């Protein structure tokens, strides 16, 4: 039963959960003192306020609006509010969803204001609050047909709080598309100036005002800082998409306030509730100062990652918990960057504590309710080795039943992934009960693996699958290859940005210079009239293969299609044999790739992908979007003795951001029979 004896309603309609929990205090706590109603009222009398509730554990106070469940205040380390108080109460810390009815134009942005608060738990170890909103089907044209349950948890001794959400649709509800779901925190601009997304990606950031005084570049998210308050930022580009991460790498990010030294961190202990698998990319933190937890979105993927509900399909899913971790420096430590080191340590602690033992929603699945699957992945490719090859560093995952590779667009269920060791052994832990397909891909090999059988996880199950063998697509011996099959274009030539469009972070961090703004226009400077020609045996993909097949800027904002050539020599040809051209794409945006063989003027291409992709990875500085593999049979009769040329045309012009990124290209000779 709930213990709500610590809540009391004050005049002015406040009520207050007072909960005193001292760090490391193992003794039975004194009964919380009663805060007089006048002190509560006086603390807030300066403003007309709605109802609110405060969660307090002695380390942090978290104030939420009632019944909406917006986080309006976070008091910590002597700072009255880490969130931006100049923002309205529903614009500081909130959950939101972007959705629409199928056929409608424009999207609806819903901040999920709840209508009811339920105190699920309040005892000496913690508090859990549930803010709910139930769908009313009489007004469905304007209301999102989802039942919403937003949860907030404060534990004794923890400087920070957890949040998770349970979204539910019942059978028969109207058709909708849901494009994005996230939690947002907008921090005090005066305090938080240093942002950290990874060890290599952290810097002093411009402010929202700096952006407002800047010059908008080719889209509103990208701004040239022409007059920032911090003069050393002048001339730099700011764009929130420069701080995106693959979900697998997005475990902790946030902001540092130097004085008093304070860290605000978003820790994601598990990706099981995120959509599109471990290499789905999304936003992290960005100028505001803003920190996000993106649960799902169409970013770097497009429409396939929208949740489309049709025919009254029921659905229920738990997103989170994620942990908002706050820290300050240990005594005598004067280095604010220690806050980042400490946040990473806390991230490991949270990750190891997954699944958490404390969330109280019945939809949350505890450790004892989960199972695991283990095995070993081996690769059979007789053109590389007569023996089986170990699936070194294979990504192996359980996701909703589907075709091989379907996990990258799967968006309604949970996914569980593991990375195999150098011998190919994998263990997928903490899997919620259910019926899954087992999927894998292996760095260095093309294509997608899917296990032939469904994997049924039941509570406490430890399924041992033994040795699984992946036969990656392969028809014959490699005649030549360009790139590395790793689902990204990172190994190719990534140019320096234009000197007037730099983000200094990526000048220092050369490994991620693909995140610089405007690289698409560098192609036209390198290849002003003639397109890229890659001669096998002469050219090198690291320096001579531009990372993205983009359109040429011919001036006056006009972009025209381009045709790349792969030139190679054949000393002998099996005219009756079948050659195979493997083209793996790392990204596609409103593109069409046409392939012609030895005849650039042929009107109908030998092969076309048709119009593919809307992952927008070129504009958003991703080095990949969704993965695609095309295996093209080429009869020997199409080939010539001596010089051959494969023409690759991206035929859709008119925009700088229409194009593709290659992952890997390989020509295979006819099969060899031994």
Ligand X SMILES: *[C@@H]1O[C@H](CO)[C@@H](O)[C@H](O)[C@H]1NC(C)=O
Q: How many CB atoms lie within 10 A of CB 202?
A: 20
Q: Which is nearer to ligand X, 43 or 640 (CB)?
A: 43
Minimum Å distance from CB 76 to ligand X? Answer: 6
How many residues touch ligand X (CB under 6 A)?
14
Q: Is residue 454 part of the contact set for ligand X (CB under 6 A)?
A: yes
Q: Which is nearer to ligand X, 471 or 558 (CB)?
A: 558
Q: How many CB atoms lie within 10 A of CB 316?
A: 13
Minimum Å distance from CB 219 to ligand X? Answer: 20
Q: Which is nearer to ligand X, 60 or 394 (CB)?
A: 60
Considering only residues 37 through 56, tell me which ones interact with ligand X, judged by CB under 6 A: 43, 56
Q: Is residue 61 part of the contact set for ligand X (CB under 6 A)?
A: yes
Q: Per the structure block, which two tokens stand in for 424? A: 């190919």
Minimum Å distance from CB 455 to ligand X? Answer: 9
Cα–Cα distance measured from residue 189 to residue 207, given in angstroms and rounded to the nearest whole number: 7
- What is the pattern of x (binds ligand X, CB under 6 A) and - over residues 177-216? ----------------------------------------
Minimum Å distance from CB 158 to ligand X? Answer: 12
Minimum Å distance from CB 25 to ligand X? Answer: 14
Q: Is residue 36 part of the contact set for ligand X (CB under 6 A)?
A: no
Q: What angle do CA 40, 43, 48 make, to 5 degrees?
A: 95
Q: Which is nearer to ligand X, 43 or 508 (CB)?
A: 43
Contact with ligand X (CB under 6 A) among 17, 60, 378, 583: 60
- What is the pattern of x (binds ligand X, CB under 6 A) and - over residues 612-651? ----------------------------------------
Q: Per the structure block, which two tokens stand in for 614? A: 């809307």
Q: Is residue 410 part of the contact set for ligand X (CB under 6 A)?
A: no
Q: Which is nearer to ligand X, 98 or 398 (CB)?
A: 398
Q: Is residue 398 part of the contact set for ligand X (CB under 6 A)?
A: no
Q: Which is nearer to ligand X, 7 or 204 (CB)?
A: 7
Q: Which is nearer to ligand X, 54 or 318 (CB)?
A: 54
Q: How many residues does the chain have?
A: 674
Q: Which is nearer to ligand X, 292 or 438 (CB)?
A: 438
Q: Which is nearer to ligand X, 59 or 446 (CB)?
A: 59
Minimum Å distance from CB 188 to ligand X? Answer: 15
Cα–Cα distance measured from residue 400 to residue 370, given in angstroms and rounded to the nearest whole number: 16
SS3 category, 507 = helix
Minimum Å distance from CB 659 to ligand X? Answer: 22
Minimum Å distance from CB 75 to ligand X? Answer: 4
Q: Which is nearer to ligand X, 270 or 437 (CB)?
A: 437
Minimum Å distance from CB 31 to ligand X? Answer: 16
Q: Is residue 331 part of the contact set for ligand X (CB under 6 A)?
A: yes
Cα–Cα distance measured from residue 318 to residue 276, given in angstroms and rounded to the nearest whole number: 16
Contact with ligand X (CB under 6 A) among 2, 227, 393, 456: 456
DSSP helix, strand, coil percent of the chain (3-state; round to 5): 10, 40, 50
Q: What angle do CA 212, 215, 221 make, to 5 degrees?
A: 70
Minimum Å distance from CB 56 to ligand X? Answer: 5
Identify the CA nearest to 119 among candidates 111, 110, 129.
Answer: 129
Minimum Å distance from CB 555 to ligand X? Answer: 7
Cβ atoms of 495 and 522 closer than 8 Å: yes
Q: Which is nearer to ligand X, 279 or 438 (CB)?
A: 438
Q: Which is nearer to ligand X, 12 or 454 (CB)?
A: 454
Cβ atoms of 234 and 334 closer than 8 Å: no
Cα–Cα distance measured from residue 418 to residue 562, given in angstroms and rounded to the nearest whole number: 40
Q: Per the structure block, which two tokens stand in for 433? A: 């009960």
Q: Is residue 75 part of the contact set for ligand X (CB under 6 A)?
A: yes
Minimum Å distance from CB 181 to ligand X? Answer: 25
Minimum Å distance from CB 349 to ligand X? Answer: 21
Q: What angle do CA 335, 337, 341 make, to 5 degrees?
A: 120
SS3 category, 93 = strand
Cβ atoms of 614 and 661 closer than 8 Å: no
Considering only residues 550 through 589, tell me which ones interact with ligand X, judged by CB under 6 A: 556
Q: Is residue 334 part of the contact set for ligand X (CB under 6 A)?
A: no
Minimum Å distance from CB 41 to ligand X? Answer: 12
Q: Is residue 332 part of the contact set for ligand X (CB under 6 A)?
A: yes
Q: Is residue 401 part of the contact set for ligand X (CB under 6 A)?
A: yes
Q: Which is nearer to ligand X, 157 or 401 (CB)?
A: 401
- CB neighbours of 40 closer than 8 A, spacing ≥ 6? 10, 14, 16
**Which span (58-66, 178-186, 225-233, 594-602) binds ligand X, by CB under 6 A?**
58-66
Q: What angle do CA 6, 126, 154 make, to 5 degrees?
A: 105
Q: How many CA atoms lie within 13 A of 601 on its CB side?
A: 0
Q: How many CB atoms lie within 10 A of CB 385?
A: 10
Pseudo-torsion of CA 214, 93, 164, 306, nearest 10°? -40
Minimum Å distance from CB 401 to ligand X? Answer: 4
Cβ atoms of 572 and 645 closer than 8 Å: no
Task: Quote the DSSP letter at residue 297.
Answer: -
Q: Is residue 279 part of the contact set for ligand X (CB under 6 A)?
A: no
Minimum Å distance from CB 14 to ligand X? Answer: 12
Cα–Cα distance measured from residue 636 to residue 385, given in angstroms and rounded to the nearest whole number: 25
Cβ atoms of 59 and 20 closer than 8 Å: no
Q: Is residue 128 part of the contact set for ligand X (CB under 6 A)?
A: no
Cα–Cα distance measured from residue 256 to residue 328, given in angstroms and rounded to the nearest whole number: 9
Q: DSSP states of 327-371 as a string?
A: EEPPTT---TTHHHHHHHHHHHHHHHTPSPS----TTS--GGG-E
Host H or E run for residue 39: helix 37-44
* Residue entry with tokens 């002998």: 572
Q: Which is nearer to ligand X, 20 or 536 (CB)?
A: 20
Cβ atoms of 448 and 631 closer than 8 Å: no
Considering only residues 538 through 557, tell me which ones interact with ligand X, judged by CB under 6 A: 556
- What is the pattern of x (binds ligand X, CB under 6 A) and - over residues 414-453? ---------------------x------------------
Identify the CA nearest to 359 among candidates 192, 163, 632.
Answer: 163
Strand 462-470 to strand 371-379: parallel, antiparallel, or no bridges (unpaired)?
parallel
Q: Which is nearer to ligand X, 397 or 485 (CB)?
A: 397
Contact with ligand X (CB under 6 A) among 59, 97, 267, 398: 59
Binding site for ligand X (CB under 6 A): 43, 56, 59-61, 75-76, 331-332, 401, 435, 454, 456, 556
């Amino acid at each position: 039963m709930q213990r709500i004896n610590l809540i009391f309603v004050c005049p002015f309609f406040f009520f207050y959960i007072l909960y005193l929990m001292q760090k490391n205090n193992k003794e039975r706590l004194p009964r919380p003192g009663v805060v007089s109603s006048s002190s509560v009222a006086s603390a807030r009398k300066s403003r007309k306020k709605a109802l609110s509730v405060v969660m307090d554990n002695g380390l942090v106070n978290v104030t939420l609006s009632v019944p909406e469940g917006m986080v309006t205040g976070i008091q910590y380390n002597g700072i009255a509010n880490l969130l931006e108080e100049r923002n309205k109460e529903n614009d500081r810390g909130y959950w939101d969803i972007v959705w629409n009815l199928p056929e409608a134009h424009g999207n609806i942005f819903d901040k999920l204001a709840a209508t009811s608060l339920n105190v699920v738990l309040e005892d000496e170890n913690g508090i859990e609050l549930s803010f709910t909103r139930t769908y009313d089907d009489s007004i469905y044209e304007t209301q999102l047909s989802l039942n919403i349950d937003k949860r907030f948890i404060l534990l004794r001794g923890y400087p920070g709080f957890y949040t998770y959400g349970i979204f539910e649709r019942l059978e028969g509800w109207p058709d909708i598309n849901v494009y994005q779901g996230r939690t947002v925190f907008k921090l005090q601009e005066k305090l938080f100036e240093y942002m950290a997304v990874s060890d290599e990606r952290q810097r002093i950031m411009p402010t929202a005002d700096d952006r407002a005084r800047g010059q908008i570049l080719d889209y509103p998210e990208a701004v040239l800082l022409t007059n920032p308050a911090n003069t050393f930022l002048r001339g730099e580009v700011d764009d929130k998409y420069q701080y995106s991460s693959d979900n697998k790498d997005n475990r902790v990010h946030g902001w540092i306030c130097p004085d008093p030294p304070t860290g605000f961190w978003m820790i994601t202990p598990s990706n099981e509730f995120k959509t599109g698998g471990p290499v789905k990319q999304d936003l992290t933190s960005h100028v505001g100062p803003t920190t996000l937890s993106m649960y799902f979105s169409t970013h770097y993927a497009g429409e396939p990652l929208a949740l489309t509900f049709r025919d009254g399909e029921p659905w229920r899913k738990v997103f989170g918990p994620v942990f908002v971790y706050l820290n300050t420096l240990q005594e005598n430590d004067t280095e604010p960057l220690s806050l980042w080191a400490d946040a990473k340590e806390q991230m490991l602690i949270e990750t190891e504590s997954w699944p958490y033992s404390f969330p109280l929603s019945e939809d949350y699945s505890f450790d004892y309710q989960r199972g695991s699957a283990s095995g070993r992945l081996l690769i059979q490719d007789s053109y590389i080795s007569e023996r089986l090859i170990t699936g070194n560093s294979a990504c192996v995952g359980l996701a909703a039943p589907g075709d091989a590779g379907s996990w990258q667009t799967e968006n309604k269920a949970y996914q569980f992934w593991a990375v195999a060791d150098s011998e190919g052994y994998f263990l997928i832990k903490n899997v919620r009960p259910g019926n899954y397909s087992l999927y894998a891909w292996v760095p260095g090999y093309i294509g997608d693996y899917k296990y032939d059988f469904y994997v049924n996880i039941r509570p406490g199950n430890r399924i041992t699958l033994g040795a699984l063998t992946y036969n990656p697509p392969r028809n014959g011996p490699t005649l030549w290859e360009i790139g590395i099959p790793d689902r990204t274009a990172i190994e190719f030539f990534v140019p320096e940005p234009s000197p007037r469009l730099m983000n200094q972070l990526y000048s220092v961090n050369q490994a991620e210079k693909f995140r610089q703004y405007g690289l698409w226009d560098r192609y036209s400077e390198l290849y002003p009239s003639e397109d890229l020609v890659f001669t096998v045996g002469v050219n090198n993909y690291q320096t001579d293969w531009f990372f993205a097949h983009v359109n040429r800027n011919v001036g006056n904002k006009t972009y025209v299609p381009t045709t790349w050539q792969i030139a190679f020599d054949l000393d002998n040809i099996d005219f009756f044999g079948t050659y195979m051209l493997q083209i793996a794409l790392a990204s596609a945006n409103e593109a069409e790739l046409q392939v012609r063989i030895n005849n650039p003027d042929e009107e109908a291409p030998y092969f076309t992908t048709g119009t593919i992709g809307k992952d927008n990875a070129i504009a958003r500085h991703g080095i990949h979007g969704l993965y695609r593999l095309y295996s093209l049979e080429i009869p020997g009769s199409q080939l010539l003795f001596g010089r051959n040329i494969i023409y690759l045309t991206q035929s859709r012009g008119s925009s700088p951001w229409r194009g593709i990124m290659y992952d890997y290209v390989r020509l295979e000779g006819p099969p060899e029979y031994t």
